[in-house]
Amino acid sequence: MNRQQGDDWRCYPEVEKFIDETLSQFMADWPFIRALQQNLLLKTSTRLQDWIDHLVFTASDDLIRRLRNFGFQLENVPASAAQQIYHHPKAIFPPIILEKSNNTSPSHLSGIALITENITLFLNAIGVSTEIEGSPLSLYRRAVLSEQGDRKLWAVERRGYRGFVPQELAGDFADQLLRGYERWMTRTRKYEDKLAGMDHTLKLAENLADMLGEDLAAWTAFKAERDYWMMRNRAGRVQFMRQNSLGLGWANHDHHTFRCSREAFPKLLQTLRVFGFQPREKFYAGSEAGWGAQVLEQPACRLVVFADVDLSAEELSLDFEKVSLPVRKEKGTVGFWCSLHGESLLEAGLHHLAALFSFPDLQRDLEKERILLLPAFSHFPYLKQAFTIGERWKPDKNKLTSLFRQNLIDSLQMESYSWEGIIGSHLENIQRSEGFKGFNQQSVSDIIRRTDPRLDFGAA
């Protein structure tokens, strides 16, 4: 497996130990937060740390030195004058706010903020009545859930915003946001000419970014992409309902995976760049697998995208945004999926959404809903991953006929796909530890191979 640009993620067990011990002390004599922790595990199969937006500490020179030794860096984002924000660029630890204090006691954790997609539903679900700072549908809202001494537990709601200042925005802002969501959600997805469709989608993304700004446009479009994916994935709908029973939504998302044909790949990446995504690392699964991926990250929205495409080793050095990959008659795993279902950015939608869970608990709890998971394709102390068994879609008859005429499927496959459908999408169960931000490339290659629609037919 080739290692590509930026693929230098490592584990930080010493940082995780510091945070875990601090959280344990914070929660030790606090029944409210202990009960919430159990409620999250029972109702959503998630851990408290999967929802932490940020931590607040009282500041001290010793703590600043310690954070810097851990790899945290000062970040210039909107905050109050008494706050400094530290983030870890090489790990997935939550940002840490240091607040000046007149108290002479040693530096300590004074606040935890949990992220939700709907703070109003969350407060209602856990039985808390309190004031919410920030106007409805604004960039950043927050509310105090519980207080004990000088410690506070917060809930926050974000929309493409990196800062920590509640926003009071004009009424037309909410109208613009909802109109932007409607435009993206109701856009045309099915085109006779997919390249024309990708061009139209790119122009719509540019219009959305002009209207809302790239960060809010990204947040809006990706909410719509998850909603579209859920319409075609039962595992996603079931788990969303479980999480939204507490108003949490998909605020625990880890990454979104788009599949793309070779000829449309530059347009996919250009669209993501309009939304503020930055290239992170490239994956190449090897000549036998025949596929690769560009990983991108949107820092303000904390969004990560896997952009999958059929690829060869000599193409790794190409600038995928500017250089078109020549069309191939042969189809690899990704190309065949796109030939069956279409482009992820168009009619197919996401291949899978990955979200953070308590790995064994999600598997057990989804089985109660008759949703099974495939064997884990990563099972390390720092990274566990497994797909749900694929949602079966019935491909468009014209696409099947085209594949048959190209001798890419035979008559038995054509009949089977028409009647039984073929793997379309998944939900990914992922659990991260020790701040590990990357992915196990060999394991990713293995699960992509094992979920190839042609292998699905062979197994059937």
The neighbouring-strand residues paired with 103 are none
Residues 6+ apart with CB under 8 A from 313: 2, 284, 287
The whole-number pLDDT of residue 139 equals: 97
The whole-number pLDDT of residue 245 equals: 95
**Distance, CA of 124 to chain centre:** 26
End-to-end, the C-alpha distance of the chain in Å comes to: 30
The whole-number pLDDT of residue 6 equals: 43
User: Are the CB atoms for 8 and 89 separated by under 8 Å?
Assistant: no
Q: Strand 151-158 and strand 96-99: pairing?
A: unpaired
User: Are the CB atoms for 45 and 361 separated by under 8 Å?
Assistant: yes
**Distance, CA of 316 to chain centre:** 24
Secondary structure (H, E, C), the chain: CEECCCCCCCCCHHHHHHHHHHHHHHHCCCHHHHHHHHHHHHHHCCCHHHHEEEEEEECCHHHHHHHHHHCCEEECCCCCCCEEEEECCCCCCCCEEEECCCCCCCCCEEEEEEEECCHHHHHHHCCCCCCCECCCCCCEEEEEEEEECCEEEEEEEECCCCCCCCCCCCHHHHHHHHHHHHHHHCCCCCCCCHHHHHHHHHHHHHHHHHHHCHHHHHHHHHHHHHHHHHHCCHHHHHHHHHHHCCCCCCCCEEEEEEECCCCCHHHHHHHHHHCCCEEEEEEECCCCCCEEEEEEEECCCCEEEEEEEECCHHHCCCCCCCCCCCCCCCCCHHHHHHHHHCCHHHHHCCCEEEEECCHHHHHHHHHCCCCCECCCCEECCCEEEEEECCEEECCCHHHHHHHHHCCCCCHHHHHHHHHHCEEEEEEEEEEECCCCCCCCHHHHHHHHHHCCHHHHHHHC
- Amino acid 119 reads I
Sheet bearing 140-148, strands edge to edge: 73-75, 83-87, 96-99, 52-58, 109-116, 151-158, 140-148
The whole-number pLDDT of residue 444 equals: 61
Q: Strand 303-310 and strand 291-298: pairing?
A: antiparallel
Average pLDDT per run of 10 along the chain, which is 460 residues long?
54 97 94 96 98 97 97 97 96 96 80 98 97 97 96 97 95 95 98 97 98 98 98 98 97 98 96 97 78 95 97 88 87 93 98 98 98 95 96 94 93 92 96 94 62 57
Q: What angle do CA 219, 117, 122 make, to 5 degrees?
A: 170
The whole-number pLDDT of residue 3 equals: 36
The whole-number pLDDT of residue 116 equals: 98
Q: Strand 291-298 and strand 278-284: pairing?
A: antiparallel
Residue with tokens 């079966």: 392
**Full set of structural domains in the chain with CATH:** 2-158 (3.10.180.10), 176-459 (3.10.180.50)
The neighbouring-strand residues paired with 425 are 391
pTM here is 0.94
Q: What angle do CA 94, 96, 98 make, to 5 degrees?
A: 170
